[in-house]
């Protein structure tokens, strides 16, 4: 049985003959040692691989000897060339860089400058970095979240920001100054989410980088790396809504608490998260509106949503109740699952889309509907509205209880 080959303690291992140095590198290939002898011939890097260190050392010794004796592509230098070479080595000595490495870096840098001066570019970069404090991504995320909470932004927005950025920080355990647009883009692609979700995460990252720049953790006066990350192209598609007839069937078959959730989404246009955080004291039966507080709204802006006559009837059995409407956030999942179990499709955000569509068809006042929903008019028209006419709108808001009882009975003119 062969005894293990004795190897040097450290790699790369240098073989030196006179002033000539040849290095041997060690790597693994399919579980086996691979030893690579590296040297330069006529200015070009040459490599030769060996399976045994002894063979690699022997070859390196031969090459180093040839170089030392001037038999391997040694250039003939003039006196001026020798002086230049010696001066160059003297300048590089404090940096600990070999001449070839310095030249390679210089050539690569000049290639990016398209003819501009490398020294000017370095001075400009240094000026931008002056006063910049390096800080890790994780620490900046925590600082940003704390600042947003102090600013009184909505809980939902902060939760979303925290979710996105904690995930991002987990992938970048480094200073924010070293995170490039390419790295951000690769990380976003690896999240395996749709275009809209990816763009939402990207926007949170842009917010983080803007905050870092404002705090002095990135150079001021220049775009951040996050801004250079292109948005994902969102596929255009039909906005999913329910017809009045479908909604009437959904309400008729729903359990009372499920029907309450559906009514607030479909007849008031509230977001799911807003419904889940809603308390009974925020539903003003006397004045006929629902108050969505700034701490519950996605946009951190308080708004009043009118209670439509049909919604008032759906809310009536719970009048006088106290506390939060729903004790569990899972109720919405159970309610939607129950509808899907009947064979009815449930398009994304269907209740809110339906409210926007039928409310706008009924009153033809986009700014008013946008205000009720807590959106801009532009977003209302592009993200929420499907085509419907006034008759459809009338049918939608006539979906009511036939009698005020716990047994749901529907009266609608839906076609």
For residue 125, tell me if it sits in a domain.
no
State yes or no: pLDDT of 403 exceeds 60: no
Are residues 182 and 218 both part of a single domain?
yes
Are residues 354 and 296 both part of a single domain?
yes
Are residues 217 and 249 both part of a single domain?
no
The 10s digit of each residue's pLDDT in 317-346 is: 999 999 999 988 788 889 999 999 999 999
Are residues 281 and 351 both part of a single domain?
yes
> In terms of pLDDT, which residue wins out, 138 or 328?
138
Q: 227, 254, 281: which is the final residue of a domain?
A: 227
Are residues 263 and 372 both part of a single domain?
yes
State yes or no: pLDDT of 9 exceeds 50: yes
In which band, very low, low, confident or very high, does the pLDDT at 121 lie, cut at 50, 70 and 90?
low
Q: 54, 69, 84: which is the final residue of a domain?
A: 69
The 10s digit of each residue's pLDDT in 251-307 is: 999 999 999 999 999 999 999 889 988 999 999 999 999 998 865 545 556 889 999
For residue 119, tell me if it sits in a domain.
no
Are residues 263 and 355 both part of a single domain?
yes
pLDDT for 4 equals 72
Contact 73, 63 (CB under 8 A): no
pLDDT for 3 equals 64
State yes or no: pLDDT of 143 exceeds 80: yes
For residue 74, tell me if it sits in a domain.
no
The 10s digit of each residue's pLDDT in 49-89 is: 888 898 899 999 988 888 877 654 545 567 777 778 778 87
Q: Which CATH number characterizes residue 150's domain? A: 1.10.150
Of all residues in the chain, the percent with pLDDT exceeding 90 is 39
For residue 154, tell me if it sits in a domain.
yes
Are residues 146 and 251 both part of a single domain?
no
Q: Which CATH number characterizes residue 54's domain? A: 3.30.160
Are residues 363 and 316 both part of a single domain?
yes
Q: What is the mean pLDDT of the chain?
A: 83
pLDDT for 164 equals 94
For residue 372, tell me if it sits in a domain.
yes
Q: What is the mean pLDDT of residues 25-39?
A: 83
Count of structural domains, the chain: 3
State yes or no: pLDDT of 355 exceeds 50: yes
Note down the domain range covering 209. Answer: 137-227
Are residues 144 and 191 both part of a single domain?
yes
> In terms of pLDDT, which residue wins out, 364 or 307?
307
Are residues 336 and 221 both part of a single domain?
no
For residue 356, tell me if it sits in a domain.
yes
pTM of the model: 0.49
For residue 112, tell me if it sits in a domain.
no
Are residues 267 and 390 both part of a single domain?
yes
Q: Which CATH number characterizes residue 249's domain? A: 1.10.443.10
pLDDT for 138 equals 94
Q: 53, 69, 85: which is the final residue of a domain?
A: 69
pLDDT for 349 equals 86
> In terms of pLDDT, which residue wins out, 1 or 199?
199
Spell 347-356 as b/e; 16+ CB within 10 A means b.
eebbbbbbbb
> In terms of pLDDT, which residue wins out, 316 or 378?
316
State yes or no: pLDDT of 407 exceeds 50: no
The 10s digit of each residue's pLDDT in 18-28 is: 878 899 999 87
Are residues 209 and 180 both part of a single domain?
yes
């Amino acid at each position: 049985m062969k005894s293990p080959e004795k190897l040097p303690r450290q790699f790369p291992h240098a073989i030196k003959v006179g002033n000539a140095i040849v290095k041997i590198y060690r790597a693994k290939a399919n579980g086996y040692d691979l030893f690579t002898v590296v040297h330069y011939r006529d200015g070009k890097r040459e490599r030769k691989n060996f399976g045994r260190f002894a063979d690699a050392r022997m070859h390196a010794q031969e090459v180093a000897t040839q170089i030392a004796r001037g038999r391997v592509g040694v250039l003939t230098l003039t006196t001026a060339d020798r002086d230049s070479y010696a001066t160059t080595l003297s300048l590089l000595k404090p940096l600990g860089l070999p001449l070839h490495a310095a030249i390679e870096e210089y050539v690569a840098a000049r290639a990016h400058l398209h003819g501009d001066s490398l020294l000017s570019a370095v001075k400009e970069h240094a000026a931008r970095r002056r006063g910049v404090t390096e800080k890790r991504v994780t620490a900046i995320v925590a600082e940003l979240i704390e600042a947003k909470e102090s600013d009184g932004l909505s809980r939902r927005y902060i939760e979303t920001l925290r979710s996105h950025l904690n995930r991002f920080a987990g992938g970048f355990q480094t200073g924010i100054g070293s995170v490039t647009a390419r790295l951000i883009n690769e990380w976003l692609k690896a999240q395996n989410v749709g275009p809209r979700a990816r763009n939402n995460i990207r926007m949170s990252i842009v917010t983080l980088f803007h905050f870092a720049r404002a705090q002095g953790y990135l150079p001021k006066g220049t775009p951040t790396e996050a801004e250079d990350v292109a948005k994902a192209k969102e596929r255009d598609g039909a906005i999913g809504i329910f017809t009045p007839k479908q909604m009437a069937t959904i309400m008729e078959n729903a359990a009372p608490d499920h029907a309450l959730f559906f009514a607030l989404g479909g007849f008031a246009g509230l977001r799911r998260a807003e419904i889940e955080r809603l308390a009974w004291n925020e539903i003003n039966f006397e004045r006929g509106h629902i108050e969505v507080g700034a701490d519950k709204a996605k946009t951190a802006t308080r708004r009043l949503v009118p209670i439509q006559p049909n919604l008032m009837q759906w809310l009536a059995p719970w009048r006088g109740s106290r506390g939060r409407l729903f004790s569990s956030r899972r109720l919405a999942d159970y309610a939607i699952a129950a509808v899907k179990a009947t064979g009815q499709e449930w398009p994304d955000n269907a209740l809110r889309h339906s409210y926007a569509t039928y409310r706008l068809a009924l009153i033809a006042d986009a700014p008013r509907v946008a205000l009720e929903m807590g959106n801009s008019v532009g977003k209302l028209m592009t993200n929420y509205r499907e085509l419907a006419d006034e008759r459809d709108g009338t049918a939608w808001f006539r979906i009511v209880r036939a009698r005020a009882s716990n047994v749901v009975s529907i009266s609608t003119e839906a076609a």
